[in-house]
Amino acid sequence: AQSVTQLGSHVSVSEGALVLLRCNYSSSVPPYLFWYVQYPNQGLQLLLKYTSAATLVKGINGFEAEFKKSETSFHLTKPSAHMSDAAEYFCAVSDRQGGSEKLVFGKGTKLTVNP
Amino acid sequence: DGGITQSPKYLFRKEGQNVTLSCEQNLNHDAMYWYRQDPGQGLRLIYYSQIVNDFQKGDIAEGYSVSREKKESFPLTVTSAQKNPTAFYLCASSIPGRVLYEQYFGPGTRLTVT
């Protein structure tokens, strides 16, 4: 079964600093990978997705992620953090079993941005 | 605007009562999903449905039930058999096989059982 590990349940950065949120996946087949963002008491919003085209994926709000097959990683980055980036971020990997399509989510990383 | 509606936003129940959470979508998506979210646990799949009148158990289906009588609706019932029902519940939808697993989420319902 596919799985996702997000290293660091909490990450704190200063405003203007680099944001790096780590995601490693386990998949027996070429995966599709996603990053979602969740603001308090809201649903999840898609930031970006990797679907086997370019390995460097650009998303919304200045975020990007790089698919590295050799490292089974899909880390999320943003060059300069903004206060509005404070939220919880989830990495997810595709899972196809018996004709059903699902996503397997990591446990999330809560990002704090300090002024 | 197309989207997913979950109601109510906050729900309170007494222990021992069944409660049904609503999820409606007007995206014309075939597949719908229910997740449970607890602090530090990520999202865990409760039930999912790929087409009308069909659904499958996810990883934590015990104590929950669903129905899928219409394409637009996928209500979740939290039964009295669910031992720890207090949680944030998220509904999602997708188009199987066409948008590469991308799921669209509703705003969630926070259920508190005392």
**Model pLDDT for residues A45-66, shown as the tens digit of each residue:** 999 999 877 889 999 999 999 9
Nearest CA in chain B to A51: B100
Over the stretch B16-66, which tens digit does the pLDDT of each residue have?
Answer: 999 999 999 999 999 999 999 998 889 999 999 988 999 999 999 999 999
B99 DSSP 8-state letter = S
Query: Which neighbouring-strand residues pair with B22?
Result: B7
Mean pLDDT value across residues A77-94: 96
Does residue A1 surpass a pLDDT of 80? no
Over the stretch A31-49, which tens digit does the pLDDT of each residue have?
Answer: 889 999 999 889 999 999 9
Token digits for B113? 């059982």
Does residue A82 surpass a pLDDT of 60? yes
In the block, which residue shows the tokens 């069909």? B54
Over the stretch A8-29, which tens digit does the pLDDT of each residue have?
Answer: 999 999 999 999 999 999 987 7
Q: Own/partner pairs for A35-38, CB < 8 Å, 24+ apart? A: A35/A59, A35/A63, A35/A65, A35/A74, A35/A76, A35/A89, A35/A90, A35/A91, A35/A92, A36/A89, A36/A90, A36/A92, A36/B105, A37/A61, A37/A87, A37/A88, A37/A89, A37/A90, A38/A87, A38/A88, A38/A89, A38/A90, A38/A108
Q: What is the DSSP string of B19-59?
A: EEEEEEE-S--SEEEEEEEETTTEEEEEEEEEETTEEEE-T
In the block, which residue shows the tokens 């075939």? B30
Confidence band, pLDDT 50/70/90 cuts, at residue A112: very high
B-interface mutation test, from A6, A42, A74, A102, most B Cβ less than 10 A away:
A102
Q: How far is B14 from chain A (nearest CA, A)?
A: 22
Number of inter-chain CB pairs under 8 A, A vs B: 59
Does residue B100 surpass a pLDDT of 70? no
Query: Which neighbouring-strand residues pair with B93?
Result: B32, B104
Distance linking the first and last C-alpha atoms of chain A: 41
Q: How far is A12 from chain B (nearest CA, A)?
A: 16
Q: What angle do CA A91, A17, A45 make, to 5 degrees?
A: 30
Q: Rounded to the nearest 5°, which phi and psi values hold at B49?
A: -140, 125
Does residue A106 surpass a pLDDT of 80? yes
In the block, which residue shows the tokens 């943003």? A78
